[in-house]
Amino acid sequence: MTKQEITEKFKTRFGPDLEVLETGQPETYLYISESRYHELCEFAKNDPDLDFDYLFNFGGAHYPEERFEIVLCLSSHEKRHNAIIKVKLDKDNPETVTISDVWEAANWFEREAMELFGIKFKNHPDPRPLLLVEDWDHGYPMRKGWTGPDFIPMPEE
C-alpha cells in the first residue's frame, strides 16, 4: 500500500484519535491517542491490508517541557510497507499498556524503555530491568537533563 492508502486506512478507523504528521519522508508518521493505542496495534497487525506483522523498532523519547513519547516502527513482511506510530504520554507520569501480547518482540523493547526512560507498561509479563547493572539507583539515564556520578557532558567549543 502507498503512504496515502495506509494513512486513509488508519484515519477511517480511528478518526479523531489520530493525528497525521506531514514529514516529507516516504513512510507514514502518525500520533495515536494513548487510550486507543493498544487497539491500533491489534488493528495494524490483524488487518489483512495493513498486515504489520513485524515490529521493527521501538523506543522512547523525552521532551521535558511537554511529553514522553513512544515510537513504533512497523513493517510488513508480505506487503513491504512501513509506518511509524507515535504515542504521547504524560510528562510527569508516563504510563501505557504493554503491546507484547500483540508482537512478542515488544517484550525486550518495553523492558529497555522502562528502565532507561521510566515509562510504565501495564500488564507487562516480565518487567525486570534489562541493560543496567543490578544495583542501579541513579534514575532514568535516557531522560533529558539526567546526570549521574560519572556523567561528564561534552564541552561546548
Residue 61 lies near other proteins (rule: CB under 8 A):
yes
User: Taking CA 72 as the corner, what is the angle to CA 4 and CA 99, rounded to the nearest 5 degrees?
Assistant: 120
Contact flags string 27-56 toward other proteins, x per CB under 8 A: x-x-----------------------xxxx
Q: Which three cell numbers stand for residue 26?
A: 516516504
Residue 127 lies near other proteins (rule: CB under 8 A):
no
Residue 62: which residues within 8 A CB-CB, separation 6 or more? 68, 69, 117, 142, 143, 144
By CB under 8 A, the residues from 63 to 92 that bind other proteins are 71, 73, 77, 80, 82, 84
HSE-up (13 A, CA, CB side) for residue 38 = 13
Q: Which three cell numbers stand for residue 28?
A: 507514514
Residues lying near other proteins in the complex (CB under 8 A) are found at 23-25, 27, 29, 53-57, 59, 61-62, 71, 73, 77, 80, 82, 84, 103-105, 107-108, 129-133, 141-142, 153-154
